[in-house]
Chain A
């Protein structure tokens, strides 16, 4: 994890307001599409509050838009899950997972952590940090072909992991 993350946290980051001005429309549009206009407003608040909370410890000022959309995606998933759970809360029925259930964040992180080192790093760079393949290749000092292969192999293993 130390390869591309040498900078001291918080240094070189633009003023947070800058991100808000640049990306608030993208985030709201994304959330509206994912969870509908009503839930989008709450997800929008949670996304930006979570981002602001984490911002000073961010080590990398690159691809802040990808970072924000990753947070938004997680908040949308939480909201969808909460909405699906809501009727069950009243009836106090035990929640049972359907066969097509997707991995939740914790499970997914666990599965990613279980990948071999290079694949894990490549998958994180691709999907958490939203890098393109040349970016992953540069970050890991490999060829672009190797970067693609690492991501591809990693995803293949994660698919097998599906519940």
Chain B
């Protein structure tokens, strides 16, 4: 017996909705398009827990392992984040006001990222400055690693940290994306 694909889609959509209603989906995720490519957004009942460039299997595996295996595709909990990101990419938003679930951030990472969140839209800081400010002046490299491990990029603006002297340094999502975000914020001159 064959089952039509529209019937299948309806059944799956209905299930995902009831699962979310009944609080059974510990992690929900969705994808959205953006000028820097598709973004994967994932949230728990506490808030956005993960943003990743591209939907990749290993990101979902990691969420299953580190948060809960009850990971389901469902856009609902992510609507506010998606809306604010759309506004940000459209140049109509300079800061985010969405609850975040910071459980994937380690202790040192938390110090680094909390400092990074205080760098305003349109500004940048150097790895060395961040290291100095969190009381670990010799840990610029560790700061770089912590920024690279930022589980919630764009919303936690790790792209605003550069090398002393202004060269871009590194970025988890690749330097093209970092450049794009900094140009969007007016922190880097747009090329051409």
A, B: real partners = yes
* Cβ contact of B19, chosen from A11, A29, A33, A49, cutoff 8 A: A49
Query: Taking the nearest CB of chain A, how far is it from the CB of B56, in angstroms?
Result: 12
| Chain A residues touching B, range | 20 to 34
* Cβ contact of A16, chosen from B8, B14, B65, B70, cutoff 8 A: B70
Query: Taking the nearest CB of chain A, how far is it from the CB of B12, in angstroms?
Result: 5
Closest to B15 in A: A48
Contacts A25-B3, A53-B24; A15 near B69 (Cβ below 8 A): yes
* Cβ contact within 8 Å between B61 and A14: yes
Query: Taking the nearest CB of chain A, how far is it from the CB of B7, in angstroms?
Result: 8
Contacts of A45 in B (CB 8 A): 11, 14-15, 18
Contacts of B64 in A (CB 8 A): 13-16
Give chain A's interface residues, CB within 8 Å of chain B: 10-18, 20, 24-25, 28-29, 32-33, 41, 44-45, 48-49, 52-53, 55-56
Instruction: Give me 21 A-to-B residue pairs in the complex whose CB atoms sit less than 8 angstroms apart, sorted by A's number.
Output: A10-B68, A10-B69, A14-B64, A16-B70, A16-B71, A17-B60, A17-B71, A18-B60, A24-B8, A25-B8, A28-B3, A28-B7, A29-B2, A32-B3, A48-B15, A49-B18, A52-B25, A52-B70, A56-B26, A56-B68, A56-B69
B115 at the interface (CB under 8 A from A): no
B1 at the interface (CB under 8 A from A): yes
Of A15, A18, A32, A41, most buried by chain B (CB within 10 Å of CB) is A15
B177 at the interface (CB under 8 A from A): no
Contacts of B29 in A (CB 8 A): 17
Give chain B's interface residues, CB within 8 Å of chain A: 1-3, 7-8, 11-12, 14-16, 18-19, 22, 24-27, 29, 60-61, 63-65, 68-73
Query: Taking the nearest CB of chain B, how far is it from the CB of A105, in angstroms?
Result: 22
Closest to B24 in A: A52
| C-alpha gap A16/B74 in the complex (Å) | 12
* Cβ contact within 8 Å between B11 and A28: yes
Contacts of B61 in A (CB 8 A): 14-15
Query: Taking the nearest CB of chain A, how far is it from the CB of B66, in angstroms?
Result: 11
Of A11, A12, A44, A53, most buried by chain B (CB within 10 Å of CB) is A44
Contacts of B22 in A (CB 8 A): 49
Told that A16-B71, A24-B8 touch, could you supply 9 new A-B pairs with CB distance under 8 A?
A14-B61, A15-B27, A15-B69, A16-B69, A20-B12, A52-B19, A52-B70, A52-B72, A56-B26
Closest to A32 in B: B1
Contacts of A10 in B (CB 8 A): 68-69
Contacts of A52 in B (CB 8 A): 19, 24-25, 70, 72
Query: Taking the nearest CB of chain A, how far is it from the CB of B44, in angstroms?
Result: 14
| C-alpha gap A24/B8 in the complex (Å) | 8
Contacts of A20 in B (CB 8 A): 12, 15-16, 72
* Cβ contact within 8 Å between A29 and B1: yes
Contacts of B72 in A (CB 8 A): 16-17, 20, 52
| C-alpha gap A48/B19 in the complex (Å) | 9
